[in-house]
Structure 1
Amino acid sequence: MAQIAVNDSRARQMIREGATIAGVVYSCHPTPEGYTGPGCAPALRIQSENRTVDFLVDEEKGIVVETVTEITSNSGFPGE
């Protein structure tokens, strides 16, 4: 499963830019009514300085079917 995700050009680009593989997870994300994509799937989690990206994989098809990105900030907002 991880190899499928690492073969994705977006994952390779993140790794080239210094991101690290955090592990394999089962990733779920909110979906709107009528959504036809996967709401949950096994995923490779890659973390960089300010974002975490889950590359959701369809193991039968051997492809990344979706990415879920969480943006984090290293600097707090004023007043935090």
Structure 2
Amino acid sequence: MTALLSQGLELMLLGMGVVMTFLLILVGVMVTMAALINRFAPAATAPPAATDNPACSAEQPSPQVLAAIQAAIRQHRATRP
């Protein structure tokens, strides 16, 4: 029984060592690739801000839009029990 237990322990340590080695190599490769990409790839540029889109403007909505929103809220509240 002792021989079987020692073989199991050796197999466990070997398996854990292989997995740990693989993970360390994987981390090293990922760090190296990230460094290469940051060095050679151009940085992404932000798209220009859309100023002609009325939904993005900081202005107040028109009175017609406010009236439509208020009517929709009133109708929703009237249908709730």
Name the TM-score, length of structure 2 as normaliser.
0.18
**Bigger proportion of residues as strand:** 1
Normalised TM-score (structure 1) = 0.18
Bigger radius of gyration, 1 or 2? Answer: 2
